Each structure stands twice: as C-alpha cells, then as structure tokens.
Amino acid sequence: MALETKQAIIKTFMQLLNEKSFDKITVTDIVNRCGVNRNTFYYYYQDIFDLLEEIFTSETEKVIKEHQHYDTWEEAFNIAVGFARINKRAVYHIFNSVNRQILEDYLFKVIKKNMTEYVEPIAAEINADDEDRDALILFYSSALMYMTLLWLQSGMKKNSDEYISRLGFLLEGNIRHSLEKRKELRENKQ
C-alpha cells in the first residue's frame, strides 16, 4: 500500500506539472487531487523539492540500470533525453522554475553516464589513454548537455530525433578518430 501511495503522489505531481509551473504547485494541490492527507505526503517527502529530487534520482537510476551499452552515441543521447520527451510540459515547467538545477543535474548525470557507456568500449578497443578517454567523455557530455539546455530553452520545439540524427551525421567517427589520433601522438613521443 505504501508503494501505491507514493506512486499516486508522484503521478499526481507529474499531472500538475503538466498543467502549471512548478513554482505554482503546492502540497495542498497534490494532496487534494491525490486524495491523501498532508501527513501522508509529509511521511514520504519533506516538501515538493524533495519529491522532485526523488523523481529525478529514481529516473537516473532507472536509465542507468536499464541501459548498459550503446552502439551509437545518438542512441545514448536519445535515452538521456527520453524523460524530457515523454514529459515535455512538466520538464519545461521545471526548466523555467527556481529548481532548474535539479533537472540540469539529472540530465548531466544521465548524459555523462550514457556517453561513458558508449566511449569506453571504443577506448578499450584501441587501448586509449584513460585521461584522453575521460577528457573526450567530458567534452561530448558537456557539449550535448549545452545543446540539450538550448533545446529546452527553445521550448523543445525542434524535433529532437532530427536534431540528434543531424548531429550524429556530423560527428560520425569523430570519437574513434580523436582517440586514435591522441594514441598515435602519444606513441610518436615515445
């Protein structure tokens, strides 16, 4: 029963986020719509911010657990922004609230984890230096994060599949090429 109650609170909160700004949602809104009392809400969560944090923590864990390997960085990136696509209005409301940092932290963790899962097998295959691998992961994760923030800022109006496909075409082979070039330079110095 406790799990069902928590899920009902989360579901209600997400419904409200799809209707109005995060800053305008109150605990009273949640409990009235959900049909639980305030004490029940506070039994599970300290406040709405705690609820939001749990949603993103849970979503991060789910994505990381379910996806361990990617054949393309586009696939990894699509998984990372999947929650935003499914919950467009809710994410837009969070992005435009004072709690934007919780969303940004979630996105960066998932993007970086997914990029790591994509880059590590390539780096291992060509025996790339760990520092080069880590620098490349951070570079691509940061670039994709910034592009995601621009997409969110624009109201997610661009078709993300098209956008990712275009980037994939432009960046195709660059990760492997970059690691191979750095390895070649390192070997030539020795």
pTM attached to this predicted model: 0.76
Higher-confidence position of 107 and 79: 107
Q: Which pLDDT value is given to residue 180?
A: 80
Let me know whether 24 and 108 are in one domain: no
pLDDT score of 34: 92
Do 39 and 69 belong together in one domain? no
Q: Is residue 51 included in any domain, yes or no?
A: no
Distance CA 156, CA 127 (A): 38
Whether 128 has a pLDDT exceeding 90, the answer reads no
Domain count, the chain: 2
Over residues 80-115, the pLDDT tens digits come to 777 778 888 888 888 888 888 888 888 898 888 888
Residue (of 25, 62, 91, 70) closest to 164 by Cα position: 70
80 and 137 share one domain: yes
Is residue 117 one of the residues assigned to a domain? yes
Tell me what the pLDDT averaged over the chain comes to: 84
Structural domain for 12, as ranges: 1-45
178 and 142 inside one domain = yes
Distance CA 117, CA 133 (A): 11
The pLDDT, as a whole number, for residue 31 is 94
Q: Rounded to the nearest 10 degrees, how much is the dihedral formed by the CA atoms of 7, 105, 61, 173?
A: 140
C-alpha span between 174 and 159 (Å, rounded):
24
89 and 12 part of one domain: no
pLDDT tens digits, 29-72: 999 999 999 999 999 999 998 999 898 888 878 777 776 666 77
How many angstroms separate the Cα of 140 from the Cα of each of 6, 31, 116, 134, 137?
A: 36, 42, 10, 10, 5
In a domain, 50, yes or no: no
pLDDT of amino acid 73: 67
10 pLDDT band (50/70/90 cuts)? very high
CATH of the domain at 2: 1.10.10.60
